[in-house]
Structure 1
Amino acid sequence: MRGLEIELESELAKQRTGLRYGLERGRALFEEEVVRRHRALRTHVARYIFSARPLVWLTAPVIYSLIIPFVIVDLWVSIYQAICFRVYGIPQVRRHRYLVFDRSGLAYLNAIEKLNCAYCSYVNGVIAYVREVGSRTEQYWCPIKQARRVIGTHARYAGFEPYGAGEHYHERLKVLQADIRAAEAPADPLEDA
């Protein structure tokens, strides 16, 4: 799986070259000509707002109201792992790896589009972060596959014990707990770029 991730990153690097940008200390930098063309593509904020359908205006507060529960979940999960993971010797999830806000550097986005992108980046980053905390918790406490097929399982799920295979469960549980204690999140290839 790690080999496929490296291969994927190699392909993404080729795409970046085609789009004429590179990563420098984790930050995307475009060539000046590309930035100039991007600015020409940007929709003025007033036109963006006034061209929106009325239902978009009405649903925007509903969408943005979710920020409150997501901030609470983000904070609560951070406190949870800070306390509980230390007690059980589980390596803490590095939150900053899941919260990436690099779309603000795109010159073809106006201020509202950049705000929308930041919102989506935060919400989806929190979901990924919480999922990783949850997967480490599940591996430590209950690494058993479900009887029914689960859609969108996390990466650790494949190594869990089959449902109903209880003969060696407690021995396997100890192994999986030791594995999670010894494991650290894989290095982020973009973080070092």
Structure 2
Amino acid sequence: MARDINDLIAHIRALEEELETELIARRRELGYRFTEGRARFTEAVKERQRELKISAGRFLAQSGFLEILTAPFIYAVLVPIALLDAVASLFQAICFRVYGLRQVKRREYLVFDRHRLAYLNWMQKLNCLYCSYANGVLAYVQEIASRTEQYWCPIKHAERIKGTHKRYPAFLEYGDTENYPHSLRKQRTRLRDEEEAGETPPQ
């Protein structure tokens, strides 16, 4: 049974690699490539993007009145997200050192590049910066939480849940009493080895 699960996980990883290959091909079709860690468009594509740009005033005019009214609620969430960012960073700075784990690299989760798109006005760019920060922080915190869960409680739930992190498939089955002590030690060893080698979670 465990082998079947591992085979399925390996198949999923292979599909993810195939998807990434297709995405790279799609990027070429859209006229850009990565150079020195940054997406760079051809001059012809950038000119076309500038032609498609609409003004901030027109953007607001095209937005619904009720949508505009939600803006304060959206940006108010910035406060708890920034607090979560700070607390999670402090948590791993202290606790991961105690556990012997390398800290999650925040810069790998917070990426800001959509504001460079020439077809966006300043208001759209601001929205993109905010969304990049908010979703980046949540992904960053999820990785911190998943490593913490693997260290302290690597057990699957009895019920199927949505939105599981990448470490979850390798957790111990719910109710597997006999293997729990050994599995807990094994999970911690895997996590430390993974962090030392800078690798992705072993499945």
TM superposition score category, shorter chain reference:
over 0.9
Stretch moving more, 1-10 or 63-72: 1-10
Query: What amino acid is aligned across from residue 37 of structure 1 in structure 2?
Result: R
Corresponding residue for residue 93 of structure 1: 104
Match of residue 19 from structure 2: 8
Residue matched to 1:174: 185
**Where does 1:1-193 land on structure 2 (aligned, <5 Å)?**
1=10, 2-184=13-195, 186=199
Q: How many angstroms apart in 2 are the aligned matches of 1:131 and 1:149?
A: 19
Amino acid at match of 2:27: R
Shift of residue 50, structure 1, vs aligned partner: 2.9
Q: CA RMSD in A?
A: 1.4
- Partner residue, 1:191: none
Taking CA–CA contacts closer than 8 Å with sequence separation of 6 or more, which of the two structures ends up with the larger relative contact order? 1
**Which letter does structure 1 place at the counterpart of 2:80?**
P
Q: Deviation string for 1:92-129 (max 9, x for gaps)?
A: 11111111111011101111101111111111111111
Q: Deviations over 1:142-191 (max 9, x none)?
A: 0011111111111111111111111120111001001111113548xxxx
Deviation at 1:4, TM superposition (A): 3.6
Following superposition, the deviation at residue 61 of structure 1 comes to 0.4
- Give the structure-2-normalised TM-score: 0.88
Alpha-carbon separation, structure 2, partners of 1:56 and 1:26: 35
Q: TM-score, normalised by structure 1?
A: 0.92
- Structure 1 unaligned blocks of 5 or more: 188-193
- The AA in structure 1 aligned to 2:185 is K
Aligned AA (1:171): H
What amino acid sits opposite 1:175 in the alignment? K
Once the two structures are superposed, residues 19-76 of structure 1 have per-residue CA deviations (whole angstroms, 9 ceiling, x without a partner) of: 1111111111100011011001011111112332221221100001000000000010
Residues 72-81 or 46-55, more deviating: 46-55
Equivalenced residues, count: 187
Q: Give how far 1:79 is off.
A: 0.4
Q: Structure 2: 5+ residue runs without aligned partners? A: 1-9
The separation in 2 between residues aligned to 1:89 and 1:3, in whole angstroms, is: 31
Percent identity for Structure 1 against Structure 2 = 51
